Structure 1
Amino acid sequence: MPPDPQGDGDADPGPIRSEPGSLLEHVVVAVLGIDEEDRICYWGPGARSLFGHESAAVLDRPASTLFPDRDPGAAARLAEQARTLGYWRVRLPALHRDGTVFDCGFRVFPLTGSTGRSVVMGLASQSVELDRVKTNLAFLDALFETYPIGLVMLDEDLRYVHLNQALADMDGIPLAGHLGRRMTDIMLTSDGGEFQRLLRAVAQEGRTVVDTLVGLRTPGHPDRDQVRSVSLFPLSGAVGTRRGVGGLLVDVTDRERAIMEATAARQRLALLDRAAARIGTTLDLDVTARELVGSAVPEFSDASVVELVEWMHQPEVFDPRLPLVTRRIAWGTTLPPPAGELLGGLERITYPPGSGIHAMLETGRPCWFEVNDDFVASTVAHRERARLLMESGLACILIAPLVARGTIQGITMFGRAASRPAFDEPDLSLAGELASRAALCLDNARLYSRVQDIALTLQRALLPSAPAAGPHADIAHRYLPGSRLTEVGGDWYDVIPLPGDELALLVGDVMGHGVPAAAAMGRLRITAKALVRHTRDPEGLLAELDSCAQEAGIELATCLCILYDPHTGHARVASAGHPPPLLRHPDGTVERIGDVLGVPLGVGGVPFRSTATRIPEGAVVALYTDGLVEARGQDIDTGIDALRDQLRAPVDSLEEAADRILSRLLPDTATDDTVLVLARLRRAPPAEPL
């Protein structure tokens, strides 16, 4: 082999060199040749770097020049072993031109040219550099084989070229099953192609991606959702290789699931806190049910209903053999039609035996059902309602019992569309907690409603339905209970004809609410009706009522009494702490009468007084309770003046006037009972002479 004529130049580094960017980039590899006389016949640029000699200084010189004097036969042994063994690898001390001795690794083998001349070719490198390369390669081999993180090499078309067993195990596909396939054929995402665009950006633009979360499934694990942390980097293309993409993939599914579960748990606790503050703000049954629905939709579910059970038999015990009849009192949904028609289309629902509701009530615990043909057929008896359910967009329904004080009050249902995850065990627990809290509030509202109904029934039974005014008076009377958000009050009134054509007009108000107030009201009214027939002076009547109130333990009650004589047109007015009556003259002027206010009944020890007044023919007297003229933040005199203004209008019909006054003066938010009595008083015709 001829010597390298350009061995000292820089234009051509020689036939063997390290590729920039490769693992051998900083490893000096010397290439040299030894002829049959053990002389140096080829000297490459790597040899010049390793031994320090220029080619002119060593060509045709003995190869022993490259070894220290203490081993003069080293070069001969190299050549001999190469010719004898065909290939020999050995480490020997070598000599640098500056006299330094270093450990050198040699690989020698014979070459025979076309002329039959034999040359021994040698490759030499410093042993320390070779050891470093071997260590790195061993590390990389061990990393690829044993590293628990997925490692992958892709070509420019993003096909698998190399991967480790950890990644194959993640995918559930053997190593060989990956090679030649695109990465997106294995990592199946539902991100609209975002992951594929990310891969191409790394391959084509040289971008680096670090720790990007990718949700996926693989053909090897088609039923398992995975989350991987993906890091990608471009491959630079070493000698004889193609460019592509390298990657590290870590399965973080458990970590992400734990994070999501912790987040979901915090969200559930927050929802319960908000529901606890929101549900049960009133004792109104319908409002409480709407509060439960509002707490669940849309955060927990896409739709919700609350239904109370209408028990067919007492006691209130569930019998799975009987149909279950419920009354829907609240519903809500964020789903498009026909979901609203499905939820709000019926008030009374009958569930046949064997329905999903029966299955839930038999266990007493929340449970959820997939909305399919079996569930619909067993639970919905009406064909049209079944069609609406199937078309509503609901994919699953969770049913929870409303149980309070050992009694099933009703049921609540939560529905989710297919776009949301199906219900799971934590959701069942949350629904049970919501239902438990709501059930107690609903039961309180139900019990209160029953007491309220009893009080209203008692009050209405004690009030006159059609007062007999006699021939000299026309009467219009109104009683309006307060809002159902408050308890019934003790307002009362009466119109009592007396012997001699006289007429007693009474109105009163017992302070307090509920059954006690209604009972006290009835006691005072009945007592007043009995006394007024025998006690013809109003102050005496109030004195007797005051004693009755003290004996009955009625602490505060007001009363107003007017005794009218149609023969003279005179009236006497006495008040026990009650707002004064108003008198509308036929010309439209309005005045107060009986300005002596007096003290309320039940105080005792204070005498009552009466005021005399004359009532013109056809005048209208207005009696009322404070619910009509008293409002929060407003002085009662302001309310009385407003009533006076209303009475100035023409009063052709007492009934129409009563309705007009109530509509103008009573706000929609009124919470106190209200009584209004309008009496048009007429004079009795003079007696004919005998």
Structure 2
Amino acid sequence: MDARAPGLGEGPEDPFALHNSASAVLDDHGRVVGWSERAQEHLGYPPEEVLGRTAVEFLFDGDADGDDACARDREAVMDAVAACLRDRGWSGVLPVRHRNGQRVELGFRARAVIRADSAREWFLVVAPAEEVRQWEADRSVLDGLFRRSPIGLSVHAPDLSILRINRALARFTQLSAAEIRGRRIGDFLIGPDLETIETRLQRVLETGQPLIFTEQPCRLRIDPGNERVVSVSAFRMEDPSGGILGVTQLVEDVTDRYRARRRLALLNRASARIGTTLDLGQTTRELADVAVPDLADAVSVDLLESVARGEDAAEEASGLVRRMAVHSVVAQALQVMYSTGEVFHFDPRTPQARCLAGQQPILEPVLQSSPAWYFKDPERTQRALGLGAHSLIVVPLTARGLLLGLLSLWRAKRPEPFEEDDLTLAEEFAARAALCIDNARRYTQQHQAALTLQRSLLPRELPEHSAVEVAHRYLPADPATGVGGDWFDVIPLSGARVALVVGDVVGHGLHAAATMGRLRTAVHTLAGLDYAPDEVLFHLDDLVNRLADEQEPADGGSTGEQIVGATCLYAVYDPTTRRCTLARAGHLPPVVVTSDGTVSVPDLPEGPPLGLGGLPFESAELELAEGSLLALYTDGLVEARGQDLDEGLERLREVLSRPGRSLEETCTAVQAALLPDHPPDDVALLLARTRVLAPEQVASWELPAEPTAAARARHLTEATLTRWGLEEMAFTAELVVSELVTNAYRYGGGTPVTLRLIRDRSLICEVSDSSSTAPHLRRARITDEGGRGLFLVAQFTDRWGTRYTRDGKTVWTELPLATAAEGHSAAAAIPALNG
């Protein structure tokens, strides 16, 4: 093959070319009859010392050395002589003695030449052996590239027509070298990839910048449904003068390697993107998003209905499934498939039903005659058949030995069907996603249990009260954070007063919710005892300390439970005096808004959080005008969205400062302005608008400590009830008031007694004195002359009790607003009680 064949670019130069090599001529007897200048340069002999002598004289025989190399030299000489005697040409390397005595290896080509007189001569062409060996290696490489190389090779003319391809590229294109010579790439490739390949080759021709290992998808015209990926390298060919001869392109089919690398990258991406949250819906959507479009054209994720509800997975696949996620690059597919949130059965004939039953993956073609059970209804099925879905994978979602649901993948837009490697990748997806789904299901189950517990511990409905109008909001924390321990309460107190409470337990989860429930119960108990706000916090602090002690193990180790601690704000509002007494334990102060929109944050003594122990709590008293708004809240309201506390308080003040809205509208406005969709912490908000009892609803007298005090109290009670239109209650009320005033006179230490009547939802009777001795209810025996007074009071009232003040105590009762018949029945019952 000519090393300088046109169109192949500069190849290895032939060392035996006449302009490069030395030459000599031998006659038929082996004598030198011709000697060139180059021969003299190689061996140092001038012509006069060579001509007429036999060529054998100049060969290096190596007799003096006697080593293996010399033996090989002699053998080569004998082979050359024998070949010449048989009239055969010969080529090879022989050792020759230089004129200076040194051994020189030269490459020879010997050919017989017949002269005109029929005499035979031998024409020798000689070149340095090293150049010959290099030339032969270069020829072998070039021959190997076209005949034996596994990498495709194509040589293109400047117009990008193909001059030659090697056998590997012929196998790839499934065309012979003769069929493809003179044609262009577009004659055997199709699609947009063709333009990309030709553009890149043209750029190599124009710039001379080589193309190195550039991966490129391609499709052959004879197999358009199978996309291949090739690695392309290219360089420009030039002649010795720099003229452009064309471009050579090396093409390697790296489809399997590319797909394996893509699958690995897809698997790594799935590991990073699936399971970022503990939300079932989000996890299934992440699974669908990862698989489309790199693996499938359409994906659906279906969970067993029990799993979708966060319940324990059924051991057997039966019943309903819920579609949790759908994703498709084929828009029409979303119109025919079940939508997210739909609950349905799979027909027993579907691959999905078989997958659920056998819990084994399925890879199969989707028949164009697919019946209606694949989709929602026959009409949608007909539309679905036009989508061209041709390949299906169904993989069960199993984790910890339980079946959770299944993953379905379709191909319609991409022509190549799923392969076994795709099924393996889908199984990897399913295994990782199933574990994340099961973790989300378990967390959802625990979160729902904690949320149910928390909601059961919070008030379902706040009682209506004459002292305040209330509205509230409670928002649980984001599922990733867990249920918290925030709570609020509105507790009716004696004397038409009301207690307003908000609190926040440290931590999240069941432990925080259970602690919150215990604290809320304790607050109700303490409120029922009519403790002042600072006393309530003192007793709560003692309770939290005891709860913390219960968490400490006997051996001093760790229980793994959260630290017990809480904050609380406790306020008592009296509608008769318009005074509000407040105390706080590490909690944020309330916000007070007057009826004209003036906003203030009262400066309350800041007590320590509950659980520190030993530190005092102090109360503060505010006088609130009628219609004032009192906002109590937990820190999750003003510290949401990453804002600092001052910024949150300022936003809250701004929202509350807008008058003219109802409490429910105000709650909604606060939520919209300050809270994200899923707050990172629980939020409790309690709004209370104050009311004032009208003067005509309250009557109060101070009675001297003398024997006629009880009679005076009965007379005042009768007159007041008559004025209020409650004559039918007079007898019962006089009986109760008489008993309370008599006890105050008897045990009050001789100080004046105060009687107060309040007409509210019930009739409230209060008797106050300076004594701190509490009345004691006991059941008198038949022979006892006394001891039945408080028993009668308890029988004819809804509630009664004692509250202590700084000046003494108040015994109070609440009588239902009864009818006249009920009043007469009370009078008739007294003789029976007296026996």
Please say whether Structure 1 and Structure 2 have the same fold, judged by a TM-score greater than 0.5: yes
> How far off is 1:361 after superposition?
3.6
Q: Deviations over 1:205-261 (max 9, x none)?
A: xxxxx9999989899xx9999999999xxxxxxxxxxxxxxxx999x9xxx55x332
CA–CA separation in structure 2 for the residues paired with 1:633 and 1:427? 43
Structure 2 counterpart of 1:446, one-letter code:
R
Match of 1:370 in 2: 365
Say whether residues 1:316 and 2:311 are aligned partners.
no
From the superposition, tell whether residues 227 and 285 of structure 1 become closer, same or farther in structure 2 (CA, over 3 Å).
closer
The unaligned stretches of length 5 or more in structure 1 are 1-19, 27-49, 51-88, 92-101, 109-121, 131-135, 153-162, 202-209, 232-247
Match of 2:188 in 1: 189
484, 489, 493: which one aligns with 1:494: 489
CA–CA separation in structure 2 for the residues paired with 1:610 and 1:226? 79
CA–CA separation in structure 1 for the residues paired with 2:153 and 2:593? 99
Describe the SS at the equivalent of 1:520: helix
Match of 1:575 in 2: 584
From the superposition, tell whether residues 262 and 571 of structure 1 become closer, same or farther in structure 2 (CA, over 3 Å).
same
CA–CA separation in structure 1 for the residues paired with 2:294 and 2:227? 26
Structure 2 counterpart of 1:524, one-letter code:
L
- Aligned 8 A contact 1:354 1:379 in 2: no
Describe the SS at the equivalent of 2:571: strand
CA–CA separation in structure 2 for the residues paired with 1:637 and 1:168? 76
Describe the SS at the equivalent of 2:349: coil
Describe the SS at the equivalent of 2:523: helix
Structure 2 counterpart of 1:580, one-letter code:
P
416, 420, 428: which one aligns with 2:411: 416
- Aligned 8 A contact 1:575 1:596 in 2: yes
Matched ranges for 1:450-469 at <5 A: 450-469=445-464
- Aligned 8 A contact 1:151 1:166 in 2: yes
Structure 2 counterpart of 1:189, one-letter code:
F
Structure 2 counterpart of 1:288, one-letter code:
T
Q: Deviations over 1:185-219 (max 9, x none)?
A: xx99344799xx9xxx9xxxxxxxx9999989899
CA–CA separation in structure 2 for the residues paired with 1:534 and 1:151? 97
> How far off is 1:387 after superposition?
2.6
Say whether residues 1:342 and 2:303 are aligned partners.
no
CA–CA separation in structure 2 for the residues paired with 1:169 and 1:533? 94
518, 526, 549: which one aligns with 2:521: 526
628, 632, 651: which one aligns with 1:623: 632
> How far off is 1:599 after superposition?
0.9
Aligned residues: 548
Say whether residues 1:614 and 2:623 are aligned partners.
yes
> How far off is 1:436 after superposition?
0.8
> How far off is 1:603 after superposition?
1.5
CA–CA separation in structure 2 for the residues paired with 1:524 and 1:280? 36
- Aligned 8 A contact 2:338 2:375 in 1: no
Describe the SS at the equivalent of 2:257: helix
Describe the SS at the equivalent of 2:392: strand
- Aligned 8 A contact 1:628 1:665 in 2: yes
Match of 1:674 in 2: 683
Q: Deviations over 1:285-315 (max 9, x none)?
A: 2222222222222222222222212259987
Describe the SS at the equivalent of 2:606: coil
Matched ranges for 1:362-401 at <5 A: 362-373=357-368, 376=371, 379-380=374-375, 382-401=377-396
Say whether residues 1:599 and 2:608 are aligned partners.
yes
CA–CA separation in structure 2 for the residues paired with 1:224 and 1:439? 32
Tell me the TM-score normalized by structure 2.
Answer: 0.55
Match of 1:8 in 2: none
From the superposition, tell whether residues 510 and 226 of structure 1 become closer, same or farther in structure 2 (CA, over 3 Å).
closer
Matched ranges for 1:78-477 at <5 A: 189-191=188-190, 256=252, 259-311=254-306, 316-319=314-317, 325-335=320-330, 337-343=331-337, 345=339, 347-348=341-342, 349-373=344-368, 376=371, 379-380=374-375, 382-477=377-472
CA–CA separation in structure 2 for the residues paired with 1:103 and 1:541? 123
Say whether residues 1:646 and 2:655 are aligned partners.
yes
CA–CA separation in structure 2 for the residues paired with 1:229 and 1:123? 58
Match of 2:826 in 1: none
From the superposition, tell whether residues 388 and 448 of structure 1 become closer, same or farther in structure 2 (CA, over 3 Å).
farther
Structure 1 counterpart of 2:416, one-letter code:
P
CA–CA separation in structure 1 for the residues paired with 2:451 and 2:268? 36
Instruction: Write out the 4+ residue segments of structure 1 that deviate beyond 4 Å after TM superposition.
Output: 102-108, 122-130, 147-152, 163-173, 178-184, 210-219, 222-231, 311-315, 374-378
- Aligned 8 A contact 2:640 2:676 in 1: no
Say whether residues 1:558 and 2:557 are aligned partners.
no
- Aligned 8 A contact 1:365 1:401 in 2: yes
Say whether residues 1:656 and 2:665 are aligned partners.
yes
From the superposition, tell whether residues 423 and 608 of structure 1 become closer, same or farther in structure 2 (CA, over 3 Å).
same
CA–CA separation in structure 2 for the residues paired with 1:214 and 1:641? 59
Over the aligned positions, Cα root-mean-square deviation in angstroms equals 5.3
CA–CA separation in structure 1 for the residues paired with 2:663 and 2:454? 24
Describe the SS at the equivalent of 1:331: strand
The unaligned stretches of length 5 or more in structure 2 are 7-16, 19-33, 35-85, 89-109, 126-135, 155-164, 203-210, 235-247, 549-562, 700-715, 720-835
Structure 2 counterpart of 1:558, one-letter code:
T
CA–CA separation in structure 2 for the residues paired with 1:164 and 1:671? 66
- Aligned 8 A contact 1:188 1:216 in 2: no
> How far off is 1:103 after superposition?
9.0
